[in-house]
């Protein structure tokens, strides 16, 4: 999902080995099932460590379940959490719609309340 847009902008990227990706995928599935555990978090931390060892400048948490496995990473400036970025954009959009609504409380045509 991110490889082509990054390459189009001339940004090099790294990915996990197939073995490490398989372990991380299993941890992500456990989160989706509500069964996250320390073993899954350890696999996620190991994956992040492996990518950092490759010398990356930034890290995209490219799955919405990863923040549940990596809460200690969320405040690091080089970590991008697409889920949080999307939520922030949605709030900005919603607030801009509210500010553009005519006085009297009605929303522009086509906008649900």
Provide DSSP, the chain.
Answer: --HHHHHHTT-------HHHHHHHHHHHHHHHTT---HHHHHHHHHHHHHHHHTT-S-EE--STTHHHH-GGGTT-TTEE-HHHHHHHHHHHHHHHHHHHSPTTSPPPTT---
Tell me which residues of the chain have a pLDDT lower than 70.
101-113
Instruction: Please report the pLDDT score of residue 113 as a whole number.
Output: 47
Q: pLDDT digit string (tens) for 69-98?
A: 999 999 999 999 988 888 999 999 999 877
Instruction: Please report the pLDDT score of residue 76 as a whole number.
Output: 94
pTM confidence score: 0.74
């Amino acid at each position: 999902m991110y490889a082509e847009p990054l390459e189009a902008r001339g940004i090099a990227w790294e990915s996990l080995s197939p073995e490490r990706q398989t372990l991380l995928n299993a941890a992500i599935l456990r989160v989706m099932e509500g069964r996250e555990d320390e073993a899954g978090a350890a696999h996620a931390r190991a994956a992040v460590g492996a990518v950092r060892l490759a010398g990356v400048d930034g890290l995209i948490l490219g799955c919405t379940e990863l923040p549940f496995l990596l809460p200690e990473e969320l405040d690091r400036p080089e970590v991008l959490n697409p889920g949080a970025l999307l939520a922030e954009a949605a709030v900005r959009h919603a607030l801009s719609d509210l500010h553009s609504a005519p006085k009297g409380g009605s929303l522009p045509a086509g906008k649900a309340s």
